[in-house]
Amino acid sequence: MIKVISLGGIGEIGLNMMVFEDDRSAFVVDAGLMLPEAYGFGVDFIIPDISYLNLIKNKLKAIIFTHGHEDHIGAYPFLVDQLEGIPVYGTGFTLALLEEKLKELKGSTLKEFYVIKPGDELSIDSFKIEFIRVCHSIPDCVALAIRNEEGIILHSSDLKIEFTAPLNERTDLNRFSQLAGEGVKLLILDATNADKEGWSLSEKEVSENLENLIRSRKGRVIIALFASNIRRIGELFHIAERTGRYVALVGKSLLENTKLASEFEYLKLPDNLIKIEDIEKIEPSKLLIITTGTQAEPMSSLSLMASGNHKHITVKPGDTIILSSRFITGRERSITHMINNLSRFGAEVFYADVLPVHASGHAHMKELELILSLIKPQYLLPVHGEFRHLCALKRIAQEVGLPEERVILVENGESLILEEGEVKIGPRVSAGRVFVDGKGIGDVEEVVLRDRRHLSEDGILVCVMVIDEQTGEIVSGPELITKGVFFEEKSGDLLKQAKEKIMDRWSQLIPQAPLENVELEEEIKKLLKGFLKKEIGRFPIIIPVIIRM
């Protein structure tokens, strides 16, 4: 029997983590994070809940990374202490990116790790795992063919089919065909773009579009992309050379990734590369700036430019800014706000909705049809997408002949059981989201986010009073301090009325038997809540502070 359990990455974009388990051993594929949506209220990252891994830690033998994107490796530095002693496997470039993350976030390096390459095989007790090259928007990406007495499970990782990609980066369709000949019991397939018609755009087409656009510009060109998109960065180096422009790189992750890619010979740094400090010495028409920040992350280079706070770059009329990326779900509002700010400075902004300047690394409908027709799996598990994407892939599978009951849709935490030739849904395990806020991991729960949301919407009111310990009479106050409720200078009458209400209520409470602070605070809270609801229809967080003297 094999259990396949997703701890993240199903019904959502990001947070990818999957467990493969039998009676003797288990291993994990990927440990990704997710960026919070615009209403994250201070949360920096979201990572998977690995409570279940702690339950089976005695038989956990490996963590395998399919590629180096944040949604596949980004959670590991936050989980490494809980996963200590478990060996890590991945391609050279993937592990190099992971180690950079560990150095940045933990000040440490990978302990026990093993570099693999396409064609290698790994044995974990009864599991035999083969690594297969696939094409994605980052180098060194692999799919996994997992063998066991229950049959072959093919985990596609993130992939696309691009016939114009370099030979050493193309999806190995020949190996997929050979596996189909052996019989694939379960295909775990990337559904991210299952609702997109046709074929995904190729990097060759994107490169041509970018070159035509850059050639037509008379001023400075600033292009933002994902720092992991090494192939596109390399193409931009060539475009700069052909169009007579110097290149400047902006952003810590971009500088680190290009350095690593150069060391792994995926990229050749150009002779016309200049430091960002020297850009003012170059005529604008001779300058191409490559930067990060396509998702409007608060402290990213492009966000700082949009707010006018970048140390070296001031956006001005005549600038062309290109967002060579997609809008990640949940970031649309922030990105649109950033584009508007860049436009206010006089820049002309291009992005994928107005010009084909980005190619996705995920297969579209026609590619998914080809993969399903080629592999002919007995069962299909759609992953890596919101539920609408999973359903779209299910429809594609049915169109190419896979019976509806053979396409299994699960939620995170639901186990998929392969036993005696059948595949079925099994028991649910603990799965969910853990919030990372600053140095705190998991100490921000939903209730904390609700409080932050409440504060952001209705503000806070603090009522401070000093009372006589013996008589209960008010010695000082009540002082009412508000933040985010109303403009105090224009609401003096309202505050005065609120204080009078408190004084009146207090005079009624004094004759009663002595009350504890908690009871008195509750009375004030109830009174102010009712008063503010009636007068202004708002519900701020109310904090009474009673000091006895």
Residue 451 is assigned to a structural domain of this protein: no
Residue 539 is assigned to a structural domain of this protein: yes
238-241's contacts with Cβ under 8 Å and 24+ in sequence apart are 238/207, 239/207, 239/210, 239/211, 239/214, 239/288, 240/270, 240/272, 240/288, 241/270, 241/272
Q: Is 15 exposed, middle or buried (0-12, 13-18, 19+ CB in 10 A)?
A: buried
- Together in a domain, 436 and 465: no
Domain boundary among 386, 413, 441: 441
Evaluated on CA atoms 52, 55, 57, 59, the torsion sign reads: negative
Evaluated on CA atoms 26, 32, 36, 37, the torsion sign reads: negative
Q: Is the pTM of this model over 0.85?
A: no
Domain boundary among 411, 441, 471: 441
Mention every residue, 6+ apart, whose C-beta is less than 8 A from residue 264.
92, 93, 96, 139, 140
CA dihedral 96, 102, 104, 109 (to 10 degrees): -80
Retrieve residue 40's tokens: 């994250």
Residue 151 is assigned to a structural domain of this protein: yes
- Together in a domain, 49 and 100: yes
Read off the CATH number of the domain in which 290 is found. Answer: 3.40.50.10710
Residue 449 is assigned to a structural domain of this protein: no
- Cα separations in angstroms, 134 against 131, 151, 366, 512: 10, 22, 17, 77
Read off the CATH number of the domain in which 47 is found. Answer: 3.60.15.10
Mention every residue, 6+ apart, whose C-beta is less than 8 A from residue 364.
160, 193, 196, 197, 198, 199, 200
Retrieve residue 274's tokens: 């200049």
Retrieve residue 92's tokens: 């050279």
- Together in a domain, 194 and 214: no
CB distance 512 to 459 below 8 Å: no
Cis before residue 317, ω within 30 degrees of 0? no
Q: How far is it, in rounded angstroms, from Cα 40 to Cα 18?
A: 25
The label of the residue with tokens 């200078």 reads 489
- Together in a domain, 118 and 153: yes
CB distance 295 to 266 below 8 Å: no
Q: How far is it, in rounded angstroms, from Cα 29 to Cα 142?
A: 11
- Together in a domain, 265 and 381: no
Residue 85 is assigned to a structural domain of this protein: yes
pLDDT in tens, the chain (549 residues): 999 999 999 999 899 999 999 999 999 999 999 887 655 566 778 899 999 999 999 999 999 999 999 999 999 999 999 998 999 999 999 999 999 999 988 888 899 999 999 999 999 999 999 999 999 999 999 999 999 999 999 999 999 999 999 999 999 999 999 999 999 999 999 999 999 999 999 999 999 999 999 999 999 999 999 999 999 999 999 999 999 999 999 999 999 999 999 999 999 999 999 999 999 999 999 999 999 999 998 889 999 999 999 999 999 999 999 999 988 877 888 899 999 999 999 999 999 989 999 999 999 999 999 999 999 999 999 999 999 999 999 999 999 999 999 999 999 999 999 998 889 999 999 998 888 876 656 555 665 666 666 666 678 888 888 887 777 778 787 888 888 777 655 566 788 888 888 888 887 776 665 667 677 788 888 888 888 888 878 788 888 888 887
Residue 447 is assigned to a structural domain of this protein: no
The label of the residue with tokens 């290149």 reads 247
Q: How far is it, in rounded angstroms, from Cα 277 to Cα 532?
A: 54
Residue type, 254: L
Domain boundary among 441, 472, 504: 441
Facing residues of 320 across strands?
221, 348
Q: What is the CA radius of gyration of the chain?
A: 28
Q: How far is it, in rounded angstroms, from Cα 107 to Cα 348?
A: 40
Residue 453 is assigned to a structural domain of this protein: no
- Together in a domain, 388 and 306: no
Mention every residue, 6+ apart, whose C-beta is less than 8 A from residue 384.
9, 10, 13, 16, 158, 190, 191, 192, 362
- Together in a domain, 119 and 12: yes
- Together in a domain, 181 and 299: no
- The count of structural domains within the chain is 3
- Cα separations in angstroms, 343 against 44, 138, 307, 475: 27, 30, 11, 57
Quote the pLDDT of residue 446: 61
Residue 507 is assigned to a structural domain of this protein: yes
Domain enclosing residue 172, as ranges? 2-198+360-441
- Cα separations in angstroms, 486 against 452, 461, 490, 537: 18, 10, 8, 12
- Together in a domain, 336 and 209: yes
Q: Hey, how many other C-beta atoms are within 10 angstroms of the C-beta on 9?
A: 24
- Together in a domain, 30 and 84: yes
Read off the CATH number of the domain in which 515 is found. Answer: 3.10.20.580
The H or E element containing residue 51 is: helix 51-55
The H or E element containing residue 498 is: helix 492-509
- The conformation of residue 32, written as its DSSP 8-state character, comes to -
Closest among 362, 436, 322, 297 to 13, alpha carbons compared? 362
- Together in a domain, 256 and 368: no
- Together in a domain, 26 and 75: yes
456-468 per-residue burial string, b: 16 or more CB within 10 A, e: under 16: eebbbbebebebe
